[in-house]
Structure formats: structure tokens, C-alpha cells
Amino acid sequence: MHSLSPKRSWPWLGVVAMVMVGALLYGPMRGTTAQAQNQVAEKPNGETIARMEAISDAFKNVARKVRPAVVQITSKVMSREPERPGSLDDRGIDPDELPAPFREFFKEFEGRSRITPPRPRTGTGSGFIIDAEKGLIVTNNHVIGGSSGGDRGKRDVELWVTLADGRRNIKAKVVGVDPLSDIALIQIKADNLTAIPLGDSAQAEVGDWVLAIGSPFGLDQTVTQGIISATGRRVLPYNETIPYQDWLQTDAAINPGNSGGPLVNMRGEVVGINVAIATSGLAGGYQGVGFAIPVNTLKHVLPDLREGREVVRGYLGVSIQGLEDQPGLAETFGLKPDQSGVLIEDVQPRTPASKAGLKNQDVVLSYDGKELKSAKELQAMVARTKPGTKVELKVWREGKEITIPVTIEKQPPNFFARDPLRGGPYRGGDTEEGTKETIDSLGLTVEQLTPELANKFGIEGETRNQVVVTEVEPMGEAAALGLSPGDVIVRVQDKAIKNTRELRETLSDEALERGLRMQVRTRAGYRTLFMKLSPAPK
């Protein structure tokens, strides 16, 4: 045993004293804390428990009612075309290694070192039964191997369904698809099926409790709970992937494999079809933001899907933007600040809109007697109008309200594939090519569009009488509005811009202080921007 010398005892005595003082001070505090913890640990009273159990029972009842109608779908998609050159492996076919009589069948592949045979692509998703007698199941088009624009005719698809009662690998066939809304209807032959009722997504409100049911990561019959976080969401680019979006947003956990499964309300009714998640590339899974196609969209296309018919939609042939998207935009047209309506940003040639005389910068106030609140509302109304129907549009043009009759036509197959940059809207006339202007108040530099600049920015079509953005200050007003090099400035207010001098005169400090609108043509299409600058300090 070691002993401490008197010299070294004094520090230890100090430590002991400090511990004793701390104990005296901490004792009462610890008692208070322990008392608080005991209060927190007290069991909830009977009324609180009853409420909690009632909520739990409600979730359990919905899950029991709905799960028997939810299925897991496994798809195997075989492309009919061989792999492109460059994707070589040991399973490929080398024409030079074949017997001479067979080589002539592979002449079209000359120049390729190997011909890789088509390979199946498998996937797992979800669906739900809507007709137990006929075995009809709703899911997403992308779950069964489809894509936007509909390429099912070029692919061989095999589908198998696993039911909630454990019956597996039931062969399914495709009845109908609607790639533009990402909805598909498939069918199986089986007895003792359970169907789920369809609700009314128009009644869904932010804050409503919902359950998402499906097979995330292949884990079938998974139930998650959340609320409706938002309605009327459009999250993908307008002309890409799924053009018809009016989605419900939910925080109920949705992951890969949930696609096609139902989002149900507390009555056990389908209000949405789970379709997508918002996530980062690093996580690749649930982060609290999921989306579902409103069930009313399904109801609209269901009659055509049941019969295997093409889903026919009406169209006008215009690019549009809602006035509500940018506060202050309505006033630039002479409308009231809170006036709702839909701005026409582009009228495509040889379309119902052009035939009726609709013009760029017209504001549509009502469609067939119904006032418009947003661009997606007009889009939905037109799409649901039977081709050949004549409707009246109330339009605001140059400070006056006019009525324009339009005959809706059938939407062409490639309607959403149009390239907005092909061809310039203004042609002819002489301009001061090569001129350059800088609008300091906006942090914007523009030049007269030349063939060289058009080639630099990838702008196709006519180059005369057009002004292009060439520089944008990162911290300037133009950057804040989303302008970028390569954007073509089409008009300011109602004035078509044909050269940089006109733009400089139109974007005076006085005009910017009053507020004005500018229309630009970007790679994604036409945009109308509202800009208003505060007066410069004197």
C-alpha cells in the first residue's frame, strides 16, 4: 500500500471540501429534479388513455379494411431491341465466331464487336383492387414498365401479382394505360378478392390524416401514417415525364416500391395513388415529402381504361401562366391586384387557339362561364372537354374584356414534346446586329442575337430581330428573377423587343419603379416575369 506524504495531502483535502460543498448545494436541486421527473412519470388518467386508444383503434380499423385490397406487383420488361454498342460482356454474340451460313443474318450489326442480347428489367411496385368480381387493379404506368409518351408497344411486359392473403405469382394482363397521368389498369383471374372504395380527392384538405399502404423495398403490406401536407402540387417540369399533375403531398412515409399503392383517408377510401417522393440523391429514400395522384384523376380516365381505349383529351395549343404566380403581374395589364386569371404566353400555329384568334399576352378570365383561379385549373378544364365542343373564353386584351368562342380539338400525341426554341416569333427587317447594352439596375447585359450567339447558346431558328441575354450578375435583380444567359427577351409590357436600343429605352428607371412585365423565351419555354425596383436613394 502506498501512502501520501503530508506535502501532497493538501490538494486532496481541497478536493474533498469542494465535493462536500457541491453535495450540499446539489442535494436540494436533485430533489427538485427527481420530484419533477416523478410528476412526468405519473401514468395518464383513464380519459387520456381512452382517447389515445380510440385514435389507435381508428388506424387499426382502416388498416384492417384496406390491406386485403392492396397487392404487390412484380414486373419484368424485355426490350425488343438489342443493347447499343459499347455494352459488351461475355454473354454477347460475336458474329465472327458464328458458322459462315449464319453470319449473313447479322450483317446489320457490322462494325460492332459484339451483339448483346436484350436483357429483362425487373421492378416491384404496389396496386389496389377496385373491382373484386373482374379482378381489376389500379397502379402506376411506370410500375408496369411504361414511361411518359407510352412505349409499351415496343416492349414485352410480364406482370405477376401477390395478394394480401399470400397467394403469389398470379399472372396479370394490362387492360389500359394513361402515360400522361401515370395511371394503369391491370387484371387478374382470382376468386375471393376484396375491393377498396374510391373517395373524393376534392374533399381532401391539408391536415387530414391518411395512411399509405404498399410494398416499400419489397416489404409487402406495409402501413404508414401521416397527414395531407399540401394539395395541387406540380413538382416535375411542365412538359416532361408526367404533364398532368395536381398532386396531393403527404408526410406519410413513401419509399421505392410504394408506387401505385393507395393513399387512404380515415374512412378507408382511396384519395390518392402514391406516385413519387422528393429526396436528395444521397439518401434516395423517405425524407417526409411524398406525392399521390388525386383519385379524381383516376375517376376521369377510368371509363377509357376499363375499355382499353386511348384516353382522349382536349387542347387549346397555348403556353400559360397563372397571374397568381407573381404578385403585381395583374396590375401590369390594368387588372385589379387580386384579380385571378391565366396569362397566354405563347400561341402555337394551326391550333384551336390560333384558329379562334387568341393572342400572346391575352389573359383568360373564365372558361365556359367558370372563373379561373390558376393555370392548372384551365389545363384540367380543357383536357376534360370533349373534342369538338365549342366553349366561350372571357379574355382581357389591351384593357378591354372580350368574349372569344373556341372549338376544342383532340390533343395530338406529341403535344408535350414540342421544342419551344424552334423558330423565332419575329422575322424580317433590319436591325443593328452586334450592339450590346447593359442595364445596371437589373444586373443584366444583352446583345443583338447573331448566328454566332445563337450557336453559342443553342438557339435554333431565326436570329434576326431578337435580343439575347449574354451576362447576368450573380447578385443582381435579373438573377433573382431567374434570368440566365441564352434567354431571349421577347417583349416588355405590350411592346415587342426587336433590338437592344428598344430594350434599353423600355427598361428605364422610371418604368422599373412603376413595375412592368417582361416575356422571355428560355430552353424550357416562355416565361413572363414581373419586375419592380425601389426608387434609387437621393
Cβ–Cβ contacts within 10 Å for residue 156, how many?
13
Catalytic member of 126, 181, 182, 215: 182
> How do the residues of the chain divide into helix, strand and coil, expressed in percent and rounded to 5?
25, 30, 40
How far apart, in Å, are the Cα atoms of 304 and each of 15, 120, 310, 423, 493? 85, 29, 7, 37, 44
Q: Yes or no: say if 109 and 95 are a contact pair by the CB < 8 Å rule.
A: yes
In the residue annotation, 142 being an active-site residue is answered as yes
Single out the catalytic residue among 181, 215, 229, 259. 259
Tell me which amino acid residue 448 is.
Answer: Q
Q: Cα(138)–Cα(175) distance, rounded to whole angstroms?
A: 10
> For residue 468, how many other CB atoms are within 10 A of its CB?
23
**What is the pairing mode between strands 467-472 and 488-492?**
antiparallel
Query: Scanning the structure block, which residue is given the C-alpha cell 460482356?
Result: 89
The enclosing H or E element of 342 equals: strand 342-347
User: How many Å is the Cα radius of gyration of the chain?
Assistant: 32
In the residue annotation, 182 being an active-site residue is answered as yes
C-beta contacts of 231-240 below 8 A and 24+ residues apart: 231/204, 231/205, 231/206, 232/374, 232/376, 233/291, 234/376, 235/276, 235/278, 235/291, 236/276, 237/524, 238/524, 238/525, 239/416, 239/417, 239/418, 239/524, 239/525, 240/148, 240/416
Active-site position among 142, 181, 201, 251: 142
* Chain Cα centroid distance, residue 394: 29
Catalytic residues: 142, 182, 259
